[in-house]
Amino acid sequence: MKRLILLLLLLPNLSHAYVENVTHGYVNCMACHISQSGGGVLSDYGRSLSKELMSTWKGWDGIEKPVLGLVSNTESLKLGGNFRSIQTHLKNDNISQGKAFVMQQNIEIAARYMDLWVVATAGVQGGPSETPTKNNFLSERHYISWDVNDEIKLRGGKFRRNYGLNDPTHTRLTKSPLGFGSNSETYQLEFSKFSETDELFIATDFGDINKPKATTTEKSFLFNYARYIEGKSKLGFNYLYGESGTTRRNLFGLYSIQKLPNDFYFKGEIDYQQNFSGDTKTNLIATTNTFGYQGFKGFLPYLVTEFLQRDLKKHNTRTDLAGIGVQWFPLAHFEFQFEFQKRNDRTTRKITSDVSWLMFHFFL
């Protein structure tokens, strides 16, 4: 069980947003995604961009359309979906193991009626063979979104909380340990507002109402404000107040995506959490920083560093890592990502692990 938990913590993400595109002028997610906070079904423009901007080779005419061009979207109906599989390897003094499995398989449909979008995914739970709900039906997202006007959107339903960087790797230490890992989508009401210079999200979250009542899922309030910098960079602040059973938390975060000279970019996030459980208060800090290079079309090498201290009073709650990785988008619809990390977990003693994974992703 311990191995499974560790493995799940090390897996990359099931969401689908590439925040580096901010540095190409796509300061918010809506050019490419139907979802205002990114991820999920692509707009027609997003599909074109996956071919024209993000892929090494262009392939054939129409390749960017659904199912490699076999199906066409219409103005009011967009098709999406994802298949992700992964090979992982973990080695330290206690364990040396490799695993290969399907992480995600689903389809997603977005239908438009006037200014309303209805979006839903249907698929099955992925994960290693030990995952208790593996192969069960899973709808990661289902929501209705109303474009009140060009600037304001309202959304209700199940989707990912828009906190911090919508980074494609949910195992980052600013994701899973803070409750934004795999299958963390919850039922929310969300208001969002966009202008040429900034964006604002305010949401109230009712938790995952599908889960049994005995299970305590967090209910929260979320505020996220980001400022665009010269149309190619972004700096954001967010706050979340959450309650779950007998615990509550305040979570503050800063995040940034910066275009750097010579095709380099930086994306980083730092979060500070106050967690209250009875009379016990625990302060946590987490940060993830990535330096990447976009000079080769569709081939993105990067360096990543991460740090997490779950209790600032206890040094033996620290995890830090340094990693090197590359994302490769050979053709529209196809993505490979490889990452190697040196990871230090300090519990009663320091455990140093070599972690690596190779992910394959095909989107419909």
CB atoms closer than 10 angstroms to residue 221: 13
Check binding of 31 to another protein (CB under 8 A): yes
- Please state the closest distance from residue 35 (CB atom) to another protein, in A: 12
- Please state the closest distance from residue 25 (CB atom) to another protein, in A: 3
Name the residue with tokens 């208790």: 132
d(CA 306, CA 323): 9
* String of contacts with another protein for each residue 176-205, x by CB under 8 A: ------------------xxx---------
Check binding of 115 to another protein (CB under 8 A): no
- Considering only 22-30, 90-98, 120-128, 208-216, which stretch makes contact with another protein by CB under 8 A? 22-30
Distance from chain centroid for Cα 233: 19
Check binding of 229 to another protein (CB under 8 A): no
Question: Per CB under 8 A, which of residues 130..169 are in contact with another protein?
Answer: 150
Q: Using the 8-state DSSP alphabet, how is residue 43 labeled? A: P
- Please state the closest distance from residue 115 (CB atom) to another protein, in A: 11
- Considering only 9-17, 20-28, 237-245, 250-258, which stretch makes contact with another protein by CB under 8 A? 20-28
Check binding of 26 to another protein (CB under 8 A): yes
Map the chain to HEC letters.
CHHHHHHHHHCCCCCCCCHHHHHHCCCCHHHCECCCCCCCCECHHHHHHHHHCCCCCCCCCCCCCHHHHCCCCCCCEEEEEEEEEEEEEEECCCCEEEEEEEEEEEEEEEEEECCEEEEEEEEEECCCCCCCCCCCEECCCEEEEEECCCCEEEEEEEECCCCCCCCCCCCCCCCHHHCCCCCCCEEEEEEEEECCCEEEEEEEECCCCCCCCCCCCCEEEEEEEEEEECCCEEEEEEEEEEEECCEEEEEEEEEEEEECCCCEEEEEEEEEEEEEECCEEEEEEEEEEEEEECCECCEEEEEEEEEEECCCCCHHHEEEEEEEEEEECCCCCEEEEEEEEEEEEECCCEEEEEEEEEEEEEEC
The nearer residue to another protein, 10 or 30, going by C-beta atoms, is 30
Check binding of 359 to another protein (CB under 8 A): no
- Considering only 30-38, 268-276, 284-292, 298-306, which stretch makes contact with another protein by CB under 8 A? 30-38
The nearer residue to another protein, 60 or 252, going by C-beta atoms, is 60
Count of residues of this chain found to bind another protein when the rule CB under 8 A is applied: 22
Q: Which parts of the chain fold into alpha helices (H)?
A: 2-10, 44-52
* String of contacts with another protein for each residue 72-111, x by CB under 8 A: ----------------------------------------
d(CA 78, CA 266): 32
Phi-psi region at 53: left, alpha or beta (left = phi > 0; alpha = psi -120 to 50) = alpha
- Please state the closest distance from residue 26 (CB atom) to another protein, in A: 5
The nearer residue to another protein, 21 or 288, going by C-beta atoms, is 21
The nearer residue to another protein, 198 or 311, going by C-beta atoms, is 198
- Please state the closest distance from residue 236 (CB atom) to another protein, in A: 15
The nearer residue to another protein, 35 or 220, going by C-beta atoms, is 35
- Please state the closest distance from residue 331 (CB atom) to another protein, in A: 15
- Considering only 37-45, 131-139, 206-214, 299-307, which stretch makes contact with another protein by CB under 8 A? 37-45
- Please state the closest distance from residue 165 (CB atom) to another protein, in A: 19
* String of contacts with another protein for each residue 41-70, x by CB under 8 A: --xxx-xxx--xx-----------------
**Token pair recorded at residue 133:** 């709900």
The nearer residue to another protein, 35 or 125, going by C-beta atoms, is 35
What residues line the site for another protein (CB under 8 A)? 24-28, 30-32, 43-45, 47-49, 52-53, 150, 194-196, 231-232
